[in-house]
Amino acid sequence: MASVDVSELKKNTKIEIDGHPFNVVDFQFVKPGKGQGLYKCRIKNMITGAVMDRTWRSGEKFEAANVESKQMQYLFASADGFTFMDNESYEQVELGANIVGEDKWFLLDNLSVDVLFYNNRPVGIALPSHVIMEITDSEPGVKGDTANNVTKQATVATGYQVQVPIFIKVGERVKIDTRTGAYIERVNAT
Amino acid sequence: MGPALSLAARVELWDVVLAAVRTELRCSGLREVTTPPMVAAVAIEPWIEPVCAGAGWLHTSPELAMKSLLVGGAGPIFQLTHVARAAERGAWHREQFVLLEWYRPDRDDAVADADGVMADVARLVAVVVQAAAPWALRSIESPHTWSRIAFLDAVEDTTGLQLQGDEDGDALARRMAATPYALPPLRTASTDARRLEAWTAFFSGWSDAALDPWLRGRAGAGAAVHLVDFPAPLAALSKAAVDSRGRTTSGRFESHVFGRELANGYRELRDATEQRARFVAVAELRAAHALPVLPMPEAFLADLAAPGLPPCSGAALGLDRLVALAVGADALAGIALVP
């Protein structure tokens, strides 16, 4: 397997430590002028999702994690998890609820996502940065309540609850940021 | 992300800063020199990696070439030049950066005398902060006090550990074993190399975990620090010394401004035999860590032996870092002309 020198690390480099795949989520290089360089990294276990901080000295080497990403389509949820399909081979894989985690709220039928495989085992999904979803339930806005930044709770098709501006109505579609879970904007019907 | 400087603003900023630095140094009696960036040999350092160029390397600092000029009787000189150090990439590191390096053969007082190169550093910081003010992203004031703190005193203040500066590699590793500064296993064999390896490793770990936060605390109060009297194993190219408490130190200092390391200076080592022995120890450390083999700088060592370097002090200052700090940028990228 390919070896990665610590000086080659950057954000999103995937490395293997003690048999676990880790993704480098943050990365800082520090070095006293004539001292050994230190690489201060925040790494995320791609299977458990646990995040930790590690500092390595220059010269250290890692194994690259055998991680590949495949674009797949979300099909359906079951009691055991979530099923995705490879659009080319029609092969289906099921990911457990513990792997999908809170991302489940953004899984619309037929949504295209990147499924990550570690040693050919699915270990996670990468959502598009935003999704567009229909509002299925929300209190009507109170008339006359036009002050800025006033929001109300609304429910979207997946059951996810999100704060939206008061003018949003049931049946309208809104854009939601999948990283923060926050409302971005109303999507006008075309 | 805070506010940013346009390219036009950066061009003006650098133009004004470079002119101000040159004026300041010329007015204090130094002449500007230039030496070629491609060299046959660099000063062999434990953790500074030169970039290959032609049959040799790009200089990691113009130190050896400038010392050859001093040997020839050049007098007080300075140089502004890009240097290259492989694989140094970070918010406050770039592989190529402008080094301001200067030498005063008129004074052998880098540490002992306030008129020496340490005072130059303090003056240059004030000059650059003032020159850069029109482009500052927030209000920046020059440090209002500069203090000198002995390296081993800073170790004691931050860790409670009393070190003598002459501990050999294994003794230092034992002292550090049960502390947050535990050393990685030593790989070298000779006493000199093990001592160098242990102290360098300690310096990196301690800098990051204890010294930097401690210095940032002082920077917050408007104070800048010359960290002086480095322990002898970290002397690099400076003269060894013994301090008033009998500890084994050297004429090396580092200047820290706004919580960042900015400059490194020496009361220069003039003994060719001792200089060779230090290069040999560094070469052993490099070999033990599988770092590229570098040639012994024989021409420089011959110059040191005869006619010899006049008594002098010198320093090198990372100008990109100072310019970034002077305008309040949060990384070197904020003031770079070339991304």
Q: What are phi and psi of B88, to 5 degrees?
A: -95, 95
pLDDT (0 to 100) of residue A175: 95
For chain B, give the percent of residues with pLDDT over 90. Answer: 88
End-to-end alpha carbon distance in chain A: 50
Identify whether the C-beta of residue B282 lies closer than 8 Å to the C-beta of residue B199. no
End-to-end alpha carbon distance in chain B: 17
Kindly provide the ipTM of the predicted complex, given to two decimals.
0.79
Contacts of B291 in chain A (CB under 8 A): 59
Q: Which own/partner pairs from A165-169 qualify as long-range (CB within 8 Å, at least 24 positions apart)?
A: A166/A141, A166/A142, A167/A141, A168/A135, A168/A138, A168/A141, A169/A135, A169/A138, A169/A140, A169/A141
Q: Best interface-test mutation with B: which of A7, A36, A39 has the largest number of B CBs within 10 A?
A: A36
Contacts of A58 in chain B (CB under 8 A): 47, 87
Whether B2 is in a domain gets the answer no
Whether B101 is in a domain gets the answer yes
More confident of the two residues B311 and B128: B128
Mean pLDDT of A61-76: 90
Q: How far is B103 from chain A (nearest CA, A)?
A: 19
Cα gap B199→B191, rounded to integer Å: 12
Identify whether the C-beta of residue A33 lies closer than 8 Å to the C-beta of residue A41. no
Identify whether the C-beta of residue B32 lies closer than 8 Å to the C-beta of residue B80. yes
Whether B185 is in a domain gets the answer yes
Name the residue among B161, B35, B96, B52 with its Cα closest to residue B332.
B96
pLDDT (0 to 100) of residue A190: 56
Q: How distant is the alpha carbon of residue B236 from its chain centre?
A: 10
pLDDT (0 to 100) of residue A99: 83
CA dihedral B214, B219, B223, B226 (to 10 degrees): 60
Identify whether the C-beta of residue B122 lies closer than 8 Å to the C-beta of residue B94. no
Cα gap A15→A19, rounded to integer Å: 10
Identify the H or E element spanning B232.
none
Select from A28, A31, A40 the Cβ nearest to the Cβ of B88.
A31
Q: Name the closest residue on chain A to residue B252, using Cα atoms.
A: A34
Q: What angle do CA B81, B85, B89 make, to 5 degrees?
A: 110
**What tokens does B334 get?**
């904020």
Whether B163 is in a domain gets the answer yes
Taking 90 as the threshold, does the pLDDT of residue B195 lie above it? yes
Mean pLDDT of B253-262: 94
Q: What is the pLDDT of residues B79-118, one digit of tens each?
A: 999 999 998 989 999 999 999 999 999 765 544 443 589 9
Q: Name the closest residue on chain B to residue A35, using Cα atoms.
A: B204
The confidence band for A101, taking pLDDT boundaries of 50, 70 and 90, is confident
pLDDT (0 to 100) of residue B158: 93
Secondary-structure percent of chain B, ordered helix, strand, coil, rounded to 5: 40, 20, 40
Q: Name the closest residue on chain B to residue A27, using Cα atoms.
A: B90
Q: How far is B19 from chain A (nearest CA, A)?
A: 26
Q: Best interface-test mutation with A: which of B200, B207, B215, B260 has the largest number of A CBs within 10 A?
A: B207
How many CB atoms lie under 10 A from the CB of residue A104? 17
Cα separation values, B183 from B21, B197, B200, Å: 40, 10, 10
Q: What angle do CA B167, B117, B19 make, to 5 degrees?
A: 135
3-state secondary structure at position A43: strand
How many CB atoms lie under 10 A from the CB of residue A63? 14
Select from B45, B90, B205 the Cβ nearest to the Cβ of A29.
B90
Whether A37 sits inside 8 A of B291 (CB atoms) is no
Look up the pTM and report it: 0.80
Select from A33, A40, A58 the Cβ nearest to the Cβ of B264.
A33
3-state secondary structure at position B227: strand
A120-157: burial string, b at 16+ Cβ within 10 Å, e else: eebbbbebeebbebebeebeebeeeeeeeeeebebebe
Average pLDDT score, chain B: 93
Q: What is the pLDDT of residues B202-255, one digit of tens each?
A: 999 999 899 999 998 887 778 899 999 999 999 999 999 998 899 999 999 999
Name the residue among A86, A78, A88, A77 with its Cα closest to residue A122.
A86
- Mind listing the domains of chain A with CATH numbers? 3-64 (2.30.30.30), 67-126 (2.40.50.140), 131-187 (2.40.50.140)
pLDDT (0 to 100) of residue A142: 64
pLDDT (0 to 100) of residue B326: 96
Identify whether the C-beta of residue B243 lies closer than 8 Å to the C-beta of residue B308. no
Contacts of B208 in chain A (CB under 8 A): 30, 32, 38, 40, 55
CATH of residue B95: 3.30.930.10
Q: What is the pLDDT of residues B311-320, one digit of tens each?
A: 999 999 999 9
Whether B140 is in a domain gets the answer yes
Select from A34, A36, A55 the Cβ nearest to the Cβ of B264.
A34
Whether B130 is in a domain gets the answer yes
DSSP, residue by residue, B156-169: HHHH-----S---H
Whether B251 is in a domain gets the answer yes
User: How many CA atoms within 13 Å lie on the side-chain side of A183?
Assistant: 25
**What tokens does B177 get?**
């074993």
pLDDT (0 to 100) of residue B323: 98
Cα gap B182→A68, rounded to integer Å: 37
B155: containing domain = 7-334
Whether A28 sits inside 8 A of B201 (CB atoms) is no
Q: Considering its fold, how many domains does chain B have in total?
A: 1
Cα separation values, A138 from A167, A182, B75, B327, Å: 11, 16, 81, 49
Contacts of A33 in chain B (CB under 8 A): 254, 261, 264
Max CA distance (Å), chain B: 55
Peptide bond just before B307 cis, omega within 30 deg: yes
Whether B170 is in a domain gets the answer yes
Cα gap B280→B296, rounded to integer Å: 8
Whether B290 sits inside 8 A of A59 (CB atoms) is yes
Taking 70 as the threshold, does the pLDDT of residue A133 lie above it? yes
Whether A32 sits inside 8 A of B291 (CB atoms) is no
